[in-house]
Amino acid sequence: MKEKLLEKFDELFKSDGTEKVYFAPGRVNLIGEHTDYNGGHVFPCALTIGTYGVARRRNDNKLMLYSMNFDGLGVIQCSVESLKYKKEDDWTNYPKGVIWALKEKGYTIDNGMDILFYGNIPNGSGLSSSASIEVLTGFICKDLYGLDIDNINIALTSQYSENNFNGVNCGIMDQFAIAMGKENRAIFLDTATLEYTYAPINLAGYKIVILNTNKKRGLGDSKYNERRSECEEALRRLKTKLPINSLGELTEEEFEKNRYLIGDEVMEKRAKHAVYENRRTIMAVEALKNNDIETFANLINQSGDSLREDYEVTGVELDTLVEEARKQQGVICARMTGAGFGGCAVSIIKTEAVESAIENVGKAYKEKIGYNADFYVVDIGNGPAIL
């Protein structure tokens, strides 16, 4: 892979031997969905698939950006002095946004870069290709410009850029999971305080399998921001009586006792998901600590049901994949992961059943939806690195 990337870089930018190769992972969230902007807990892990970058500094202030995934767009050029969101600049708005955000936060980036990207995360799949390229860009800038910034602040700067440069009101989970990933560990993160612990994922005899609907979705134009504002309004109404700052502070009992304050059926369902999902995530981590895979799997299934019924972020493609997966022998859990409205589901499958489950689910999906789903058997990997 490294040789292929360096070869392409040389073809585009003429190698001088100063360029370096970098990597940042994608992520999958095992449980704790749509809780990160509601002050709740999440439980993601970094994957061994992700985004590669080859980069070097320039002597002028030009940014020369190229992606092997969007070959037809060629090299897109701009200046580090005038970084503005432009729809026609397509995918480059993500790395541009991070450089803009670093400068906004007072870091010095006074000359440009030649930079080539290649990602093996499917775009729009819900495995965080956008957060992956953001964290990678922050990590490259830290290295090439000698910035005094740690990985948590790279994650926060990446989130800031997505919120303020790209206009997607995302929470911190994706960037944090990617920046702080550890092999064979998931991150139990309290999104309200950024307190986190690593929990070992001991899945001896099981595999994590990602099921991709191949239905593309874009966060900015999905109903993601709508869900977020529904939760914010529900919280505002609950705060008329309760001294809370986020839905994540409530127990199930407190919510049930006070849900009448919301006074809107749809908003109640959204808030219910946020509260119950947060509690499920806390219980799931406990179950894993006790090596209780059965309870862990049940909670993941409950999470999926709530995302379908209360949060309504699935759709026919995800519902079909999850439903078909749960019918298979050896599949102990399956649910959508990520923002929803397309993208991926995550499942845990007994190792010996992986092949037949993939075959059966793929066949049923094609019959019902009309096109193929893709499947990835994944491992849990580390955060960003120089290769």
Tokens of 116: 């080539």
pTM, two decimals, is 0.90
pLDDT of residue 76: 96
Number of H helices, E strands in the chain: 11, 12
pLDDT band at 348 (very low <50, low <70, confident <90, very high): very high
pLDDT band at 122 (very low <50, low <70, confident <90, very high): confident
pLDDT of residue 124: 66
pLDDT band at 339 (very low <50, low <70, confident <90, very high): confident
Residue 217 has pLDDT above 90, yes or no: no
Summary mean pLDDT of the chain: 94
Percent of the chain whose pLDDT exceeds 90: 88
Mean pLDDT of 285-314: 95
Q: Which residues, 6 or more positions from 153, have their beta carbon under 8 angstroms from its beta carbon?
A: none
Class of domain 2-29+44-190: alpha beta
Q: Is 94 within 8 Å of 134 (Cβ atoms)?
A: yes
pLDDT of residue 333: 98
Using the structure block, give the residue that is written with the tokens 């990835």: 376
Q: Is 39 within 8 Å of 249 (Cβ atoms)?
A: yes
pLDDT of residue 40: 95
Instruction: List the Cα angle 11/14/17 in 5-degree steps.
Output: 120
User: What DSSP element (H or E) covers 47?
Assistant: strand 41-57
Phi, psi of 127 (to 5 degrees): -105, 15
pLDDT band at 340 (very low <50, low <70, confident <90, very high): confident
Mean pLDDT of 98-124: 93
Q: Is 71 one of the catalytic residues?
A: no
Mean pLDDT of 319-347: 94
Q: Where are the domains of the chain?
A: 2-29+44-190
Number of residues in the chain: 387
Q: How many Cβ atoms from other residues are within 10 Å of residue 192's Cβ?
A: 18
Give the Cα separation of 347 and 336 in Å (integer).
9
**Active-site annotation holder among 10, 174, 221, 379:** 174
Interval 252-261: pLDDT, tens: 999 999 999 9
Residue 145 has pLDDT above 50, yes or no: yes
Residue 387 has pLDDT above 50, yes or no: yes
CA dihedral 66, 171, 22, 54 (to 10 degrees): 10
Interval 8-43: pLDDT, tens: 999 999 999 999 999 999 999 999 999 999 999 999
